[in-house]
Amino acid sequence: MASHSSGEEPWRVGILFSQTGATAIIEESQLKGTLLAIDEINAGGGINDRELVPIVYDPQSDDQRFALLAEKLLIEDGVTTIFGCYRSSSRKAVLPIVERRNGLLWYPTLYEGFEYSPNIIYTGASPNQNAVVLADYLLREYGARFYFVGSNYVYPHESNRIMRNLVQHNGGEVVGERYVDISAGRQQFKPIIHDIKRMQPDVVFSTVVGDATVHLYQEFFDAGFDPKILPIASLTTSEAEVRRMGADVAEGSLAAAPYFETVKTACNKAFVSRFKRRFGDEESTNMCLEAAYFQVQLFAKALADADQMDTDLLRSLVLGSECEAPQGTIKINESCNHTDLFTRVGRVDGTGRFQIVQESKTAVTADPYLVYYGCGCPAAFH
Ligand code: ACM
Question: Closest Cα partner for 294 from 259, 266, 246, 343?
Answer: 259
Q: Which residues pair with 254 in a beta bridge?
A: 233, 347
| Predicted confidence (pLDDT) per residue in 257-312, tens digit | 999 999 999 999 999 999 999 999 999 999 999 999 999 999 999 999 999 999 99
Asked if 366 contacts 128 with a C-beta cutoff of 8 angstroms, the reply is: yes
Give the atom of ligand 1 at the shortest distance from the alpha carbon of 111.
Answer: 3
CA of 286 to the centre of ligand 1 (A): 15
* pLDDT over threshold 90, residue 1: no
CA 192, CA 194: separation in Å to the nearest integer?
A: 5
**Minimal-distance CA residue to ligand 1 atom 4:** 87
**Minimal-distance CA residue to ligand 1 atom 3:** 111
Give the atom of ligand 1 at the shortest distance from the alpha carbon of 236.
Answer: 4
E strand map for 41-196: 52-57, 81-84, 104-107, 120-122, 145-151, 173-180
* pLDDT over threshold 90, residue 4: no
Q: What is the pLDDT of residue 83?
A: 99
* Confidence band for 372, pLDDT divided at 50, 70 and 90: confident
Asked if 25 contacts 244 with a C-beta cutoff of 8 angstroms, the reply is: yes
DSSP code per residue over 173-240: EEEEEEEE-TT--GGGGHHHHHHHHHH--SEEEEE--THHHHHHHHHHHHTT--TTTS-EEESS--HH
CA 25, CA 215: separation in Å to the nearest integer?
A: 13
Task: Report the SS3 class of residue 334.
Answer: coil
Give the atom of ligand 1 at the shortest distance from the alpha carbon of 153.
Answer: 2
Q: What is the pLDDT of residue 320?
A: 98
Any residues with Cβ below 6 Å from ligand 1, and which?
A: 87-88, 109-111, 155, 209, 236
| Predicted confidence (pLDDT) per residue in 205-254, tens digit | 999 999 999 999 999 999 999 999 999 999 999 999 999 999 999 999 99
Give the atom of ligand 1 at the shortest distance from the alpha carbon of 154.
Answer: 2
CA of 10 to the centre of ligand 1 (A): 32
| Predicted confidence (pLDDT) per residue in 40-61, tens digit | 999 999 999 999 999 999 999 9
Q: What is the pLDDT of residue 7?
A: 55
| Predicted confidence (pLDDT) per residue in 151-206, tens digit | 999 999 999 999 999 999 999 999 999 999 999 999 999 999 999 999 999 999 99
Q: Which residues pair with 56 in a beta bridge?
A: 15
